Every structure is written in structure tokens, then in C-alpha cells.
Structure 1
């Protein structure tokens, strides 16, 4: 009998283009739990320990904030996004 493996988005986020597209989709969805989970997936793909060093936020704090049940502050989101080498951008919503 074959055993199913757990799919993890972090295993497939290899390039900056992959990461940017993944995060853009999460932000376009607009659901804060989806955004937090996507940031967490990218954080795990990049390495939580390194991200902790770059942001000054503890690993435990990152895991908690960037989980689907997390509620990261805007400051945390901004630090994490910058550590990924990206920036948040605002644009008008088409009607």
C-alpha cells in the first residue's frame, strides 16, 4: 500500500519569482489567515533561523505570527517581507 505524503508549499518556493507570485496571490486573496500562512511557508522555505536573525524576531514568535491562526502585526509583516528582499506595494483595485 502506498502512503500519501504531506504537500508543503515551502518545498516548491525556490526562486524569488516563485516567492513573489505566491505572496501576491495570498495578498490578492485578502484573507489574513491565508496571508499569514503564505508568509510562514516562505519563511520556512528561506529558513526560520536566518529570518529570525534578519528581523530580530524570535523563531517562536515567527512560527506563532506566521501560522494560519497567527495575527502578525504590520511591523512584523514589513520586517519579514523586507527580509525576503521584497517590498509591499499598494495599487488601486479595479472596479
Structure 2
């Protein structure tokens, strides 16, 4: 499967909905797994969360086992600087998972 490029809240919402349905999860189940409200998740899937808190979005993506890669875009006349490889969302979130 190709890596989707997300440039808008609606596209992120579509990706979350498709992944949730593919995994057979209800919105209630995913919201509980990600520790977010179901109504908030409904808004995310609808593309209504353009200014959603990043930690909440990352929890949803982590619950769906989706990784995030941040990439810069080239602006006319300005080359992108070299940047180190960033850790995946799963790596970051695993540091904060509840411990038994």
C-alpha cells in the first residue's frame, strides 16, 4: 500500500475512518482505545478538527497502528535543509503507554 500524503484535515479524517473500518472497530471502541471522546473522533473523521491537539491525533493513529512521517516540501528557489530521521509516532507514544 502506498504511503498516503495528508495535506488537509478532511484527508486525515478519511484515512482514520478507513483504517478503523478495515480493523472492524466502532467509533466507540476506537475512542476508548485512544482515550478520546467519541464525539471528538466523529469530528476528526468528518474533517472538522483542523486545529486538533497533536497528542490526541497521535493517540488515535497509535490505536490504529498507523505511523506518521513528517516531510518538508520544496519551495521555489529554496532547497530543503538536511534533517535527521525522526522517530515514528509509535516510538514516541510507546514511551508514554500505561505500565502495569
TM-score bin (small chain): 0.5 to 0.7
- Give me the TM-score of the superposition, normalised by structure 2: 0.54
For structure 1, the residue ranges without an aligned partner over 5 or more in a row are 1-16
Answering whether residue 67 of structure 2 is matched by residue 83 of structure 1, we say no
- Give me the TM-score of the superposition, normalised by structure 1: 0.56
Q: Secondary structure at the match of 2:46?
A: coil
Give aligned pairs, total. 72
Taking only aligned residues, the RMSD between alpha carbons, in angstroms, comes to 2.4
Q: Please report how far the alpha carbon of residue 92 of structure 1 lies from its aligned counterpart in structure 2 after TM superposition.
A: 4.3
Answering whether residue 21 of structure 2 is matched by residue 41 of structure 1, we say no
For residues 1-95 of structure 1, the aligned pairs below 5 Å read 17=1, 21=2, 24-27=3-6, 30-46=7-23, 47=25, 48-71=27-50, 72-93=52-73
Work out whether residues 30 and 60 of structure 2, in 8 Å CA contact, stay in contact via their aligned partners in 1.
yes
